[in-house]
């Protein structure tokens, strides 16, 4: 069986992140298998800018774009205050 490709993740946020039971302090790096990127939590942290793939900004941008496509549209976007008050949402 082929060995899975490994990547290095960097904690760019201000809080501790736990990945596979390993504590990753802010500014520190961790080497993990590429399958970790398939997890929804990892995708969310990359999209929020709290976690990045080291030396691969193209992959970071791809993950952020895919995550934002799945995001639900904001129902209040483009509506005035009067429209929101009439519609029962504010």
pLDDT score recorded for residue 88: 60
Cα separation, 34 vs 29, in Å, equals 15
In the three-class reduction of DSSP (H, G, I as helix; E, B as strand; rest coil), residue 31 is classed as strand
User: Residue holding tokens 């929020």?
Assistant: 48
Predicted TM-score of the model (pTM): 0.72
* pLDDT tens readout for residues 33-83: 999 999 999 999 999 999 999 998 899 999 999 988 888 877 777 788 887
Which residues, 6+ apart, have CB-to-CB distance to 75 below 8 Å? 89
Q: Are 30 and 9 in contact (CB under 8 A)?
A: yes
User: Using only C-alpha atoms, what is the Rg of the chain?
Assistant: 18
Cα separation, 64 vs 46, in Å, equals 7
């Amino acid at each position: 069986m082929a060995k899975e490709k490994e990547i290095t993740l960097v904690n760019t946020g201000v809080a501790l992140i736990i990945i596979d039971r390993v504590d990753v302090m802010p500014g520190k790096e961790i080497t993990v298998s590429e399958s970790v990127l398939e997890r929804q939590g990892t995708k969310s942290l990359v999209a929020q800018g709290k976690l990045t793939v080291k030396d691969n900004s193209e992959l970071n941008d791809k993950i952020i774009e895919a995550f934002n496509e799945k995001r639900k549209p904001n129902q209040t976007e483009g509506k005035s205050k009067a429209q929101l008050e009439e519609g029962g949402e504010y």
